[in-house]
Amino acid sequence: MFLQRRARFAYFLVLPSLAVITLLDILPIIESVVVSLQNQNMGRSNPEAFVGFAHYSRALFEEPTFWTSLWKTVIWTAFSVAGAYLVALGLALLLNMDIWGRTLFRALFLVPWVIPDVATALLWKWLYGDEFGVINFLLTKVGIINKPVLWLSDPLMAMPAVVLVQIWKLYPVMFVVLLAALQNVPKELTESAVIDGAGVMQRFRFVTFPFIKATSIILTLLASIWTFQAFDIVYLLTGGGPAGATKILPTLVYDKAFWGLEMGYASAISLLMLLCLLVISVAYLTIYRTQGLQADEARA
């Protein structure tokens, strides 16, 4: 009886959160599903005409844009997350050591995180400029290049250039979390490994990494979700160009929804994106659980 009452009270306590989630997440998703099945061309007077799965069919089978954009989104996400993780891990390992200025550097490395995306894009646009960009200026000054690198104008360079910006934007949050995880690694274990003659790489692989593995999986999952749907940086830096080289799915959705006024089609693409994210998330969580079980078995 007491437990039942406790459970009822617990449900009562989560009600406000549930209401907010329903209002801000579940209802918009349901609305998106409805919109994706309607014409919803805002430039037409019959937006609510039911069209079934026509928008999905168009995206998946009739126009190659969805697939090319999906591929670019996968590249953008994979390289951004992997790059940011490596940078964050490197810095976290470095600043987990007892070095001079550790507190100052910890604060400094967080700066990119607090800069708004729009300001980040403008800042990097200025850095990447071909004729007045700081990077080309410095590279020319030190004699590494003799003509400007077309960071944002060359279709082969544009994707690496925007990925670099996303890495810069993404690594601080990963750095903070990894640093916290590293501080949970028992010092005695590392010291024992040193006494046993383990090298730096061995210590990292067999002592440190197992302790930050679970954190790393969750962190890269979250970063993948954020990056997969990131929009501002690419849109402001390249507009999806040159020649579509950086046309990732969020920019396609934005163009179709807010310039093409095709809300139905854009909603269908958004829901396909959601499906992709669900697949990624399930894969990640499956790995996470498997790893967790293995760890439990090892401990037992």
The minimum distance between CB 272 and another protein, in angstroms, equals: 19
**Does residue 117 interact with another protein by CB under 8 A?**
no
Query: Are the beta carbons of 231 and 52 closer than 8 angstroms?
Result: no
**Does residue 210 interact with another protein by CB under 8 A?**
no
Distance of alpha carbon 244 from the chain centroid: 21
**Does residue 153 interact with another protein by CB under 8 A?**
yes
How far apart are alpha carbons 272 and 276 in whole angstroms? 6
**Does residue 163 interact with another protein by CB under 8 A?**
no
> What type of residue sits at position 286?
T
Closest residue by Cα to residue 88 from 216, 183, 227, 187: 216
**Does residue 234 interact with another protein by CB under 8 A?**
no
For the chain, the helix, strand and coil percentages under 3-state DSSP, each to the nearest 5: 75, 0, 25
Per-residue interface string for the shown chain with another protein, residues 63-102, x marking contact by CB under 8 A: ----------------------------------------
Q: Take residue 34 and report the two structure tokens written for it.
A: 């409805």
Q: Which is nearer to another protein, 121 or 178 (CB)?
A: 121
Q: Which is nearer to another protein, 40 or 224 (CB)?
A: 40
Total residues interacting with another protein, rule: CB under 8 A: 35
Closest residue by Cα to residue 266 from 275, 256, 258, 274: 256
Q: Which is nearer to another protein, 150 or 164 (CB)?
A: 150
- Applying CB under 8 A, the span of 99-107, 192-200, 211-219, 238-246 interacting with another protein comes to 238-246
**Binding residue for another protein (CB under 8 A) from 9, 12, 50, 259?**
259
How far apart are alpha carbons 121 and 236 in whole angstroms? 6
Neighbours of 10 (CB within 10 A): 10
Closest residue by Cα to residue 208 from 245, 228, 179: 179
**Does residue 289 interact with another protein by CB under 8 A?**
no
- Applying CB under 8 A, the span of 130-138, 172-180, 196-204, 281-289 interacting with another protein comes to 130-138
Residues that bind another protein (CB under 8 A): 41-45, 47, 129-132, 147-148, 150-155, 158, 238-244, 255-263
